[in-house]
Amino acid sequence: MTRIAIVEGDGIGHEVIPVAEAVLELLHPEYEYFAIDVGFHRWEQTGCPCADRDIEALKMADAILFGAVTTPPMKDYQSVVLRIRKALDLYANLRPVKGNGFDIIIVRENTEGLYSGIEETGHDRATTLRLVTRSGTERIVRKAIGLASRKNGTLTIGHKANVIKSDVFFRDICIAEAKAAGIPFNDRYIDALSLDLLQHPDRYSVVVTTNMFGDILSDVASYLVGGLGLVPSANIGERYALFEPVHGSAPDIAGKNIANPVAALRSAAMLLDHLGDRDAAVCIEEEIQHVISAGIRTRDLGGTAGTREFGDAVLTGLRKH
Ligand code: ATP
């Protein structure tokens, strides 16, 4: 029995995840779906945003569909999604950005770098340790190399080695691995890369980079396809896999039925692809394109459709297949 954990989280997670879950249930009614309730709202109710037993329950799933969680900027609040990524060792964050004439996957290291959580705040100074390890770098670049060879593409290494020593370390390990694998590669400073990716997206195939640079670069790259409401992601480890939109909980638009559910739907498609059902993943993508072309669009794409209306249109289309 294939088990899927559904985590709505906070904010627009409560709106976009039910749309994506309905599509999964339509295409795979034989799977077992179970909900896990974590996030900032849970902290507000109970003082604990994510309990140990929630992590254990997530580990029971073959795949996790995840919405978004709010992380308030409070000194002692631990980010739920960072905790889950660490606990499940979801070291590779894959963020595909596809459009007319370009097909890019940003491969973001997901467990260390500036988000290692090794921090200290004193009265006069605060420090965050940027941890880059050999084993962490080797496994992320090997993942990226695998994707680049499958796509017959070039690997681009994004870094800031001119300023940060830990990125000299990261870059050199990536280059050594790419040479050993015999795949075409180049490397770019992350700031120049961010601009060039927008100006010449067709020049890129697979981009590998450290945690925070990858986080920022993928938000920037979402501009190429119409914004944050459209970009999905996969968080992959050796044993577990979690799929979530790149966007956050967007409290400013939550509860209004205006969030775009496409990123969540595409995350569900990536989940099915991961479980081996590539046909279903392709069907979801085709139906999204079909509905958008028919003029049914949410507000961020210039339309008037609500989250639920867009989801219903996709469901109706899929039922006809
Ligand atoms: P986080 O720190 O978790 O990334 P955030 O609030 O900084 O959260 P997002 O939640 O990703 O960032 O939202 C940024 C903005 O993008 C929101 O204010 C919202 O206007 C827009 N946005 C994000 N997701 C969507 C969506 N699915 N549909 C429409 N607009 C969205």
| Domain span holding position 117 | 109-228
Q: Check which CATH number belongs to the domain holding 258 and give it.
A: 3.40.718.10
Ligand 1 neighbour 250 (Cβ under 6 A): yes
- In this predicted structure, what is the pLDDT of residue 141? 98
Q: Residue 316 CB: number of other CB atoms within 10 A?
A: 11
Closest-lying ligand 1 atom to the alpha carbon of residue 68: 3
| Dihedral sign from CA coordinates of 201, 206, 210, 215 | positive
What confidence tens digit (pLDDT) does each residue in 107-123 have? 999 999 999 889 999 99
Ligand 1 neighbour 247 (Cβ under 6 A): yes
Ligand 1 neighbour 267 (Cβ under 6 A): no
- Distance, CA 119 to ligand 1 centroid (Å)? 26
Closest-lying ligand 1 atom to the alpha carbon of residue 259: 28
Sorted by sequence, the CB contacts under 8 Å of residue 205 that are 6+ apart come out as 103, 104, 105, 148, 151, 153, 154, 155, 156
The best mutation among 40, 233, 253 to test binding of ligand 1, ranked by most ligand atoms within 8 Å of the C-beta, falls on 253
| Ramachandran class of 56: left when φ > 0, alpha when ψ lies in -120 to 50, beta otherwise | alpha
- In this predicted structure, what is the pLDDT of residue 321? 77
Tell me, yes or no, whether 75 and 150 share the same domain: no
Q: How many domains does the chain have?
A: 2
Per-residue DSSP letter, 79? P
- In this predicted structure, what is the pLDDT of residue 77? 85
Q: Check which CATH number belongs to the domain holding 169 and give it.
A: 3.40.50
Residue at a domain's end among 228, 255, 281? 228
Sorted by sequence, the CB contacts under 8 Å of residue 24 that are 6+ apart come out as 4, 31, 33, 65, 268, 271, 272
Nearest to 209 by CA among 238, 181, 167, 249: 167
Closest-lying ligand 1 atom to the alpha carbon of residue 70: 3
Going residue by residue through the chain, which has 321 residues, state the pLDDT in tens, using 9 for 90 and above: 999 999 999 999 999 999 999 999 999 999 999 999 999 999 999 999 999 999 999 999 999 999 999 999 887 888 899 899 989 999 999 999 999 999 999 999 999 999 988 999 999 999 999 999 999 999 999 999 999 999 999 999 999 999 999 999 999 999 999 999 999 999 999 999 999 999 999 999 999 999 999 999 998 999 999 899 999 999 999 999 999 999 999 999 999 999 999 999 999 999 999 999 999 999 999 999 999 999 999 999 999 999 999 999 999 999 987
Tell me, yes or no, whether 168 and 245 share the same domain: no
Ligand 1 neighbour 209 (Cβ under 6 A): no
What is the rounded (10 degree) CA torsion for 190, 194, 199, 200? 50
User: Which run of H or E residues covers position 139?
Assistant: helix 134-151
Tell me, yes or no, whether 299 and 242 share the same domain: yes
3-state SS, residue 284: helix
